[in-house]
Chains A and B, each alone.
Chain A
Amino acid sequence: MTLDHAEELVAAPSSPGAAGPTRRETWWRVLRRDRFAFAGLVVVLLYVVVALTAPLLLDRLGVDPYTYHLDALDENGAPAGWGGGISAEHWFGVEPLTGRDLFAIVVLGSRASLAVGLGATALAVLVGTTLGVLAGYAGGWVDVLVSRVVDVLLGFPALVFMIALGAIVPLQFPHAPRILLLVVVIGLFGWTSIARVVRAQTLTLRSLGFVRASRGLGASPGHVVLRHVLPNLAATVVVFATISVPGAIGSEAALSFLGVGVQPPTPSWGRSIGDAVTWFSSDPMYLVFPGVALFGITLAFNAFGDGLRDALDPRAVRR
């Protein structure tokens, strides 16, 4: 749902031409002043670093999310010991029924969430911007076609179709990497909102003085789009992308939660959360660690995105 609402949260500047090229010092300084947003950025970067270095990190610490430690479980399969098996060996405890190290699972699980979240958003932004600009600039039947495609996509119950596609594609293409499939599926259902916003802005831009002048001077449409339209869209698109990432991460988690996302034994926060809820009465920490991890990245991206939007949008009220 966040993906669909993001467009409303990005106020389209009415006169972007007047704002001129982004003054880098100013927006950065504004962002720095907004401590909530800045904290969000720091946290995001932290997560990215952890995700990128995860295999090395785990190697150094001597833990991995695949090895079973049945000795850490009691006779019912629940983790023995306090806090779900927290010990010097297992910092976050162990997973019930398998004894796998939860710290390793959470750390490595960040890769799936970030890869899919960032990848799907990138795809959605790419497709959405391209189609939005096309529709807004070319107008006519192109615009009608794109708008109808958007209407159709909006009519689908997205989650259900993601589930169905998650079931079909592996059977038709058995060797397709799961992460890629998730990126494509989530991205495919997410480009519509950005397309609409970009289209609206392109329409406005197209009618502006300097653009008309450029066209009047005989510049080709490609030149106009590249030199005039796209740079002025940049701010909107960047903010939009940032705000869309949490939604994509959430979608991956929801799909893994329902069992059709990242497959075992590859760790995934969504899948762990889904499992952990049933264990909550006997092992609450099993939910806390991946739950906080997921919540953390989502909150951080949202806070950073808000701050970025406020900093880049010339009309937004400074706090």
Chain B
Amino acid sequence: MRTTRTRRLLVAATAAAVTLGLAACNANPTTATTSTAPAAATQEGGTLHILTSQTSINWDPATSQNLAITTLGLVERRLTTWDAQSGQPSKVVPDLATDTGTPSDDGKTWTYHLKQGLKFEDGTPITAKDVKYSVERSFAPELSGGLSYHKSLLVGGDTYTGPYQGKELASIDTPDDSTIVFHLKTAFGDWPWIVSMPAFGAVPQAEDDVAGYTAKPVATGPYKVASTEQGASVTLVRNDQWDRSTDDVRTAGPDSVVFELGQEQTVSAKRLIADSGADKDAFGASFVPPAQLAQVAKDPSAKDRLVTSGAGALAYLAINTQAKGLTDVKVRQALQYAVDKQAFLVASGGATGGEIATTLITPGIAGRQDYDLYHADASGDVAKARQLLSDAGWQNRELRLAVDSDATNPAQGQAIQQGLARVGIKVTIVSQPDDVWTQTVTQGDGSKYDLALSSWQPDFPSANGNIQPLFDSSQIGQGGFNLSRYSEPAVDTLIAQATAETDADEAGRVWAQADQRIMQDAPVVPLIFTKNSFLHGSNVENFFIPAFPAYPNYLKVSLGQ
């Protein structure tokens, strides 16, 4: 999943702060320790404030791309969820279901049983039909926009258009009120992770409202939506129908949670550094921008309250392999040496911002092998790049770099620009807001860009999520994220082989093989593995970032007294 991060102050673009990505991190916990070690007992009470730059919160699971451990997870439970603790790899654990699923039929059929006694916020019991309905409505065109992995995995998913014309999805069975069975087209060992996504919650058909569900969902989690001030705030209060004994991952410490909307990234960071008044009970949902990271470095009290994740998402430069001149692998290899990764790292916040990257699979993913195919200084090897370019007979032309203005700061694009300027290649930065950028790079024939700056985290911690969406030839155009438009049959074969492989170790080995094979063709330049930093107030406890994803676990945060 692409990471989207809010831009700093005063940009004419929407901010989508609460982000969607998941990252597998290395097992090392955060470098900045905080006084809120996860071992602290959870105290109950108080109002937790969350500062976000979003201007509205989308509570509709069908259209949401939210993580299991952040915003939506406070209100919605799914069949499974993530147990994300500090210092350990994250695991998928049962949530509404009794276990993570029973596969049968060679992994093509998955059966789940719901826990007993689960209820919606209005007291009505949660049944398997409600889960089925929630999945079905995610197919409706009126509710498009959410995570869609399941849509191509379930039998009949490609043609199903939702329940609003009275049709059901036959591949989901509900033999009784507490059993649900999924029929997949092919075996998919990671299915337990798929059912932890938002669409696999429970939505009562009687309360469904296409237009209104995004603001007033029916809660199954520890909190329910109490009130919304348009553009200003959303308040959650305790859901008294939530049964604590059935929920292992949520501690529900605060009595209520208030999302303060429209708070610019820089302003949030500054407020949390200042830590005055009600901000002591607050934390920021947006990343701390580099300018404020510098400020924190000089402020001892703020330093204690800064939490930085391990190296998570891969920030990379995608090279459009179908663009003129860039079809030659030697030219692309030259770019590997020409790019100034050090400048990019500094532009991302220096050492706190990330680590130089040389592989495609992110740290912490099982089976990952570390290697450096185009070994050079962090600032590149200008001489070697020039040599390769002249060997390839490069006809110099201007290259267009497509940059998402909502997800990057300007210095990052400029770092790439100046790096390539050193070998005589002029780069024009085409900065576009998020949806325009997405359209430019994922739709059409790719004729509008030569390079693209992007960032990727897998939606679930498997190498599958690092490789397939970015390098499988089926993901070119039509909304897919193969931004380099890379098509190599040998790689497609490796991907298919690894996906079907049921033995985890063997699969890991094949994925690592694919990683190196792809880098031999140099369709992308891996830049850095990003580290995300967040700030919290002095009265906030149990605030930590797990190994995966690189975002704070909202489900465990509590307040002191």
Residues of A within 8 A of B (CB): 66-68, 70, 73-78, 96-99, 163, 167, 170, 257-260, 263-265, 271, 274-275, 277-279, 281-283
Contact assessment for A279 and B346 in the assembled complex, using a CB-CB cutoff below 8 Å: no
Contact partner of B290 (CB less than 8 A), chosen from A66, A76, A274, is A76
| Residue contacts A-B, CB under 8 angstroms, 11 given | A66-B418, A76-B290, A77-B350, A97-B411, A98-B346, A98-B415, A170-B430, A259-B13, A274-B10, A282-B291, A282-B298
**Chain B residues with CB below 8 A from A76, complex form:** 290, 293-294, 297, 349-352
Interface size class of B (residues with CB under 8 A): 35 or more
- B429 contacts chain A at the CB level, 8 A cutoff: yes
Query: Within the assembled complex, what's the spacing in Å between the Cα atoms of A282 and B293?
Result: 10
**Chain A residues with CB below 8 A from B405, complex form:** 259
Query: Within the assembled complex, what's the spacing in Å between the Cα atoms of A281 and B292?
Result: 8
**Chain B residues with CB below 8 A from A68, complex form:** 340, 343, 415, 418
Contact assessment for A274 and B431 in the assembled complex, using a CB-CB cutoff below 8 Å: no
**Chain B residues with CB below 8 A from A281, complex form:** 270, 291-292, 295
Query: Within the assembled complex, what's the spacing in Å between the Cα atoms of A70 and B418?
Result: 12
Contact assessment for B10 and A258 in the assembled complex, using a CB-CB cutoff below 8 Å: yes
Determine how close the nearest CB of chain B comes to the CB of A199; give it in whole angstroms: 34
Query: Within the assembled complex, what's the spacing in Å between the Cα atoms of A279 and B298?
Result: 13
Residue in A70, A78, A97, A99 with the greatest tally of chain B CB atoms within 10 Å: A97
**Chain B residues with CB below 8 A from A97, complex form:** 290, 346-347, 409, 411
Query: Within the assembled complex, what's the spacing in Å between the Cα atoms of A204 and B266?
Result: 54
- B12 contacts chain A at the CB level, 8 A cutoff: yes
Contact partner of A264 (CB less than 8 A), chosen from B9, B413, B436, is B413
Known: A77-B347, A98-B343. 5 other contacts (CB 8 A): A70-B342, A76-B293, A265-B418, A275-B8, A282-B294
Which chain A residue lies CB-closest to B414? A264
- B210 contacts chain A at the CB level, 8 A cutoff: no
B342-370 vs A, Cβ < 8 Å mask (1 yes, 0 no): 11001101111100000000000000000
Question: In terms of DSSP, what is the predominant structure of the interface of chain B?
Answer: helix
Asked if A274 meets B417 with Cβ closer than 8 Å, knowing A77-B347, A259-B410, A264-B429, the reply is no
Asked if A259 meets B298 with Cβ closer than 8 Å, knowing A264-B410, A278-B292, the reply is no
Asked if A259 meets B431 with Cβ closer than 8 Å, knowing A97-B346, A277-B9, A282-B298, the reply is yes
Determine how close the nearest CB of chain B comes to the CB of A150; give it in whole angstroms: 26
- B11 contacts chain A at the CB level, 8 A cutoff: yes
B492-513 vs A, Cβ < 8 Å mask (1 yes, 0 no): 0000000000000000000000
Contact assessment for A98 and B414 in the assembled complex, using a CB-CB cutoff below 8 Å: yes
**Chain A residues with CB below 8 A from B222, complex form:** none
Contact partner of B12 (CB less than 8 A), chosen from A66, A96, A99, A163, is A163
- B289 contacts chain A at the CB level, 8 A cutoff: yes
Interface residues of B in 378-413 (CB under 8 A from A): 379, 405, 409-411, 413
- B421 contacts chain A at the CB level, 8 A cutoff: yes
Contact assessment for A263 and B431 in the assembled complex, using a CB-CB cutoff below 8 Å: yes
Query: Within the assembled complex, what's the spacing in Å between the Cα atoms of A13 and B436?
Result: 52
Query: Within the assembled complex, what's the spacing in Å between the Cα atoms of A228 and B101?
Result: 91
Residue in B295, B405, B429 with the greatest tally of chain A CB atoms within 10 Å: B295
**Chain B residues with CB below 8 A from A283, complex form:** 294
Question: 4 shortest A-B CB distances, which residue pairs?
Answer: A78-B294, A97-B411, A76-B294, A278-B291
Which chain A residue lies CB-closest to B410? A264
Interface residues of B in 67-106 (CB under 8 A from A): none
Determine how close the nearest CB of chain A comes to the CB of B5; give it in whole angstroms: 14
Which chain B residue lies CB-closest to A170? B430
Determine how close the nearest CB of chain A comes to the CB of B293; give it in whole angstroms: 6
Determine how close the nearest CB of chain B comes to the CB of A287; give it in whole angstroms: 11
Contact partner of A263 (CB less than 8 A), chosen from B352, B418, B429, is B429
**Chain B residues with CB below 8 A from A73, complex form:** 346, 350
Asked if A77 meets B290 with Cβ closer than 8 Å, knowing A68-B418, A274-B10, the reply is yes
Asked if A278 meets B9 with Cβ closer than 8 Å, knowing A75-B351, A263-B429, the reply is yes
Asked if A96 meets B294 with Cβ closer than 8 Å, knowing A77-B346, A263-B429, the reply is yes
Determine how close the nearest CB of chain B comes to the CB of A39; give it in whole angstroms: 32
Determine how close the nearest CB of chain A comes to the CB of B351; give it in whole angstroms: 5
Determine how close the nearest CB of chain B comes to the CB of A43; give it in whole angstroms: 28
Query: Within the assembled complex, what's the spacing in Å between the Cα atoms of A257 and B350?
Result: 24
